[in-house]
Structure 1
Amino acid sequence: MSTVIFAFSIFCGWLIFDIVKHRKIKLEIVLSSLIVAIIAGVLWWLLDLLF
């Protein structure tokens, strides 16, 4: 469950950062935020398995 919360937090943070940076919402920005969140979630899950 913590992995999902972490990935969602990364998604929201990355999305807010990109919206402030580019001053508009585009599909490309949302998809890049989603990809980063998925990668971060998978890495967080792997770290959780290891430790």
Structure 2
Amino acid sequence: MKYLTSLLALMLLTAVIGCGEKKAGVVADPDEYEQYETPPGAMEQAQKEAQAAAQGS
């Protein structure tokens, strides 16, 4: 039981430390949006590649 309590405390501490500086409602700065955008046609291309790989297996 002591091991489980220590493990839970470590997990909680890690979660709290990992939060970092809080910016309410801000996920990314507007200047950084481009790096998160998916290029046109990338999803379709990935789907075609996945289907080809599945058929080739």
Pairwise same-fold verdict (TM > 0.5):
no
Q: Specify the structure having the higher radius of gyration (Cα).
A: 2
TM-score by length of 2: 0.35
Name the one with the larger helix percent: 1
Higher relative contact order (CA 8 A, sep 6+): 1
TM-score by length of 1: 0.38
